[in-house]
Amino acid sequence: NAGVTQTPKFQVLKTGQSMTLQCAQDMNHEYMSWYRQDPGMGLRLIHYSVGAGITDQGEVPNGYNVSRSTTEDFPLRLLSAAPSQTSVYFCASSYVRTGGGYGYTFGSGTRLTVV
Amino acid sequence: GDSVTQMEGPVTLSEEAFLTINCTYTATGYPSLFWYVQYPGEGLQLLLKATKADDKGSNKGFEATYRKETTSFHLEKGSVQVSDSAVYFCALSAGGTSYGKLTFGQGTILTVHP
């Protein structure tokens, strides 16, 4: 099992450029989410999805778009990159099972620098 | 809204010292609580979790007990090693319609010296 795969691992963008961060999971998890990690602020939720075709905003959604056309994929699009979006981005997938079982799996992250 | 507060870092200890990292939370209902660890240059790994009051999560010598009366989930280890040097995050999942979302504390940097 690959788990949660994020690409690319590193990216440098110029201000105003657009790009898509890819996230794929092979565990058939129903939930997927995107976080950004900034020093001293922990991880903050950008967008999440409770299933194919259903997405919602998290704590810091401005400047980012998502869609979920399949269970496996949850790409994050930066529409017009800004230096404030320099961060490390993590994708996660999760499940809930009857009886209270929980599981979250994180990808290895994408380090994005906007100059 | 939901929130998690961790003790200020960084924390610096000598090998074999006792570790406590405090974590308190605010949430409606009955959240599940987690500790994640991030080693340098890597992603997040689940360290331990607890899903209901008085549950104790444990893994690799680390322990944390879900205390509903004090809304806390403090992380402890009796004897730390150099290899425990990492960033530790406390997190909660509120459940219900929020199963897919985690709320994180700001993280605590732990450095253990030989």
Q: In angstroms, rounded to a whole number, what is the distance separating the alpha carbons of residues A7 and B101?
A: 21
pLDDT in tens, B37-48: 999 888 899 999
Q: Which two tokens stand for residue B48?
A: 């331990």
Q: Do B100 and A107 touch (CB under 8 A)?
A: no
pLDDT at position B41, please?
A: 83
pLDDT in tens, B80-95: 999 999 999 999 988 7
pLDDT in tens, A26-44: 999 999 999 999 988 889 9
Interface test with A, best of B36, B99, B108 (most A CBs within 10 A): B99
A99 to A56, A102, B46, B96: CA distances (angstroms) = 26, 9, 20, 13
Chain B environment of A44 (Cβ under 8 Å)? 104
Residue type at A73 in one-letter notation: D
Chain A environment of B45 (Cβ under 8 Å)? 106
Q: Do A90 and B43 touch (CB under 8 A)?
A: yes
Angle at CA B5, nearest 5°, toward A114 and B11? 80
Higher pLDDT, A41 or A60: A60
Q: Do A102 and B99 touch (CB under 8 A)?
A: yes
B11 pLDDT exceeds 70?
A: yes
State the nearest Cα–Cα gap between A84 and chain B, in angstroms.
18
State the nearest Cα–Cα gap between A17 and chain B, in angstroms.
26
Nearest C-alpha in B relative to A5:
B43
pLDDT class of A14 with cuts at 50, 70, 90: very high
Chain mean pLDDT for chain A: 93
Question: Once rounded to an integer, what is the mean pLDDT over residues A64-68?
Answer: 97
B107 pLDDT exceeds 90?
A: yes
On whether the CB atoms of residues A18 and A76 are closer than 8 A, the answer is no
Question: Once rounded to an integer, what is the mean pLDDT over residues A77-90?
Answer: 96
Q: Do A94 and B99 touch (CB under 8 A)?
A: yes
Higher pLDDT, B43 or A83: A83
pLDDT at position A42, please?
A: 87
pLDDT at position A99, please?
A: 64
Q: Which two tokens stand for residue A51?
A: 């299933």
Q: Do A102 and B51 touch (CB under 8 A)?
A: yes
Question: Once rounded to an integer, what is the mean pLDDT over residues A92-113?
Answer: 85
Query: If you write DSSP's letter for every residue of A27-91 in order, what string do you get?
Result: S--SEEEEEEE-TTS-EEEEEEEEETTEEEE-SS-TTEEE--SSSSB--EEESS--GGG-EEEEE
Q: Kindly tell me the burial class for residue A102, based on how many C-beta atoms sit within 10 Å of its own C-beta (0-12, 13-18, 19 or more).
A: middle
Q: In angstroms, rounded to a whole number, what is the distance separating the alpha carbons of residues B48 and B36?
A: 7
Angle at CA A78, nearest 5°, toward A77 and A84? 145
A100 pLDDT exceeds 70?
A: no
Q: In angstroms, rounded to a whole number, what is the distance separating the alpha carbons of residues B13 and A101?
A: 35
Question: Once rounded to an integer, what is the mean pLDDT over residues B23-52?
Answer: 91
Q: Which two tokens stand for residue A9?
A: 């691992």
Nearest C-alpha in B relative to A90:
B43
Question: Once rounded to an integer, what is the mean pLDDT over residues B29-55?
Answer: 91
Find, among B25, B21, B2, B7, the residue nearest to B71 by Cα.
Answer: B25
B5 pLDDT exceeds 70?
A: yes
Percent of chain A at pLDDT exceeding 70:
96
Nearest C-alpha in B relative to A93:
B100
Nearest C-alpha in B relative to A31:
B100
pLDDT at position A1, please?
A: 61
